[in-house]
Structure 1
Amino acid sequence: MTEQMVDEPVADDSSGGRRGRRGLVVSIVAVLLAVLLAGHRAVPNVRGLGSLVDSAAPLLGLGVPLLGLAALLRRSRRALLVVLLPAVVWGALYGRAWLPPAASAGPTSLRVASQNLRSGNPDPAATVGALTAADVDLIGLQEVDDDDRVDAALGQRYPHRAAVSTVALWSRWPIRDAVGVDTGLGWDRALRAVVAAPQGDLVVYVVHLGSARAGHTATRDETLAALATAVRADPAPRLVVLGDLNTATTDRVFVPLARLLHDAQADAGQGFGFTWPAELPVTRPDHVLYRGLTPTAAGVLRTPDSDHRAVTAGFRW
């Protein structure tokens, strides 16, 4: 009896291989994003690259929904699970900023604002008018190049003023001992003043640090270090810094100052409080930093004719 040879189909595992590779690229990118989020300060700070990555770190979270969408389009459950890794890392690092701030007991006794007016502002009076509407007690301004119009807008409500170069402080309460602060720019673009508030003396710094550009952050870094040195040497028990520091608190070069002062937005605000550029802000170079006070509120105010939004904060003595 003759045996018949029957050809049996060989199982094609190419589809299984394709399924295994589906979403592989998405998974790899998700892991790399998680590593970058967790270790952004390990990026070498060559020509300011590390500072740039540090400042942009909160925005890296935008990659999570994009990767999630890519995983869905690839119909890869495995990739979708891997995308949870950068989501968890981002949440651990920055999620707290979006929680409602813990309410501080007691009334607000001090309200402050800081605004970079923008050099060449066509209507600085309109810009500072938005600040007066916020009913603050102290206003710190940077890039002031038209004192007359600013004075006319603020003088009645804020009769006390101190100015050095292009930075100035307006106050409802008397100001004394106002002096320039050397931050290493070659001219003073910062001031220190003592404000005689009803509850007691308050030292206020109004600061505009050196500019930072892609690949050129050395001047900014030096001025930030100089400011930290001045604050460290200042014996004042209650102190507030208002200004455009040209970097975000996530930047590694901010660490020496962060060890000396608290950030009002982080402690009493909600969200990242981005201020620049004003039309669609993606970073926060403008700050209210403090010690010796209890923050009760913090926020951002949209003002006309400036390329920066203003920052505000409230405190209890």
Structure 2
Amino acid sequence: MTEQQADERAPGEPPGSRRRRGLVVIACAVLLAALLAGHRAVPNVRGLGSLLDSAVPLLGLGVPLLALVALLRRSRPALLAVLLPALVWAGLYGRAWLPPAAGAAGASVRVVSQNLRVGNPDPAATVDALAGDGPDLIGLQEVADGDRVASVLAGKYPHHAVVSTVALWSRWPIREAHGVDTGLGWERALRAVVAAPQGDLTVYVVHLGSARAGHTATRDQTVAALADAVRADPAERLVVLGDLNTATTDRVFDPLTRLLRDAQAEAGQGFGFTWPAELPVTRPDHVLYRGLTPTAAGVLRTPDSDHRAVTAGFRW
């Protein structure tokens, strides 16, 4: 044994213990890498698989934690093992943190979507923040006080459509609007055709069923119903704005990703988490599209809502 090796052992520590004390970290690193790479193999029993899918980007936080433990234990094999989940996470989600190739210049239409929150004490302040940057279309969910919303938006947005607790406010005329059945037993989604200067744009404003740990069946059914509606829609240019109560990493989201693209993934930076507003850890709010080119996407903090808003810009 060299003098250096002896120094790396704690006093009284038997030979070989340095290797053993890294085994737990190595095992945790392998398990973390397996969960990152194979989370969809976990059965979706009572929504467990969906819950894991939604949380999987956050599992990357385990990498620096394991690296710290490996350093404290002075275990080189453990530190090398931590590279495995680090590389898997980077392969899955590293691209989301690269600067978007698209630029905001040249957007033909800018949209924003916000869940206002039913108990919002000042929805007027929330929508005033949404309108501050001058988007062309504003999609709202959980609209409980339409009069207060209208008092802020009616001047700049002379056209609007409302179905139940969802609404669309537009700078441009709305040719038609009607409710969309997503299987909730009452309509909490609308479809509108907006006469934009460049041509007609079909816009869905949607609030899908809620998902709770162990109770995702209603949400799952509403995702499938929305996918069916979009699949049957002949519109060439289409945007979906809303609180879908589903993360894009959730396997249940797949029917929508096969039909539409995600503005945040294409033109944003980062995960774009929106809920809860104070410290968001997931993204149930989305801007999905087809037939357009995204130029920008992001998240907007607004007052008095428990969700952050999502924004996007597109050109024809």
| Conservation of the 8 A alpha-carbon contact between 1:34 and 1:89 | yes
Report the residue type matching 1:56 in the other structure: A
Partner residue in 1 for 2:188: 189
What is the SS of the residue equivalent to 1:15? Answer: coil
Runs (4+) off by over 3 Å: none
Report the residue type matching 1:200 in the other structure: G
How many angstroms does 1:104 deviate by?
Answer: 4.9
Partner residue in 2 for 1:125: 124
Alignment partners' CA distance in 2, 1:20 and 1:305: 53
RMSD (Å), alpha carbons: 1.2
What is the SS of the residue equivalent to 2:135? Answer: coil
Going from structure 1 to structure 2, the CA distance change for 1:90 and 1:240 (only over 3 Å counts) comes to: same
| Conservation of the 8 A alpha-carbon contact between 1:246 and 1:285 | yes
Using the size of structure 1 for normalisation, the TM-score is 0.95
Alignment partners' CA distance in 1, 2:104 and 2:138: 24
After superposition, where does 1:14-29 map in structure 2 within 5 Å? Answer: 15-29=14-28
% identical aligned pairs: 83
Alignment partners' CA distance in 2, 1:164 and 1:44: 36
Using the size of structure 2 for normalisation, the TM-score is 0.95
Q: Which has the larger radius of gyration?
A: 1
> Which deviations, in whole Å up to 9, do the C-alpha atoms of 1:210-265 show, x marking residues without a partner?
00001000000000000000000000000000000001000000001000000000
Alignment partners' CA distance in 2, 1:310 and 1:19: 50
| Conservation of the 8 A alpha-carbon contact between 1:34 and 1:85 | yes
> Which deviations, in whole Å up to 9, do the C-alpha atoms of 1:144-188 show, x marking residues without a partner?
010000000100000000000000000000002200000000000
Gaps of 5+ in 2: 1-12
Report the residue type matching 2:224 in the other structure: A
Partner residue in 1 for 2:10: none
| Conservation of the 8 A alpha-carbon contact between 1:106 and 1:316 | no
Alignment partners' CA distance in 1, 2:164 and 2:226: 17
After superposition, where does 1:1-317 map in structure 2 within 5 Å? Answer: 15-104=14-103, 107-317=106-316
Partner residue in 2 for 1:7: none
Alignment partners' CA distance in 1, 2:171 and 2:86: 46
Gaps of 5+ in 1: 1-13
Alignment partners' CA distance in 2, 1:30 and 1:311: 34
Q: How many residues align?
A: 305
| Conservation of the 8 A alpha-carbon contact between 2:268 and 2:297 | yes
Alignment partners' CA distance in 2, 1:23 and 1:134: 53
Alignment partners' CA distance in 1, 2:134 and 2:72: 51
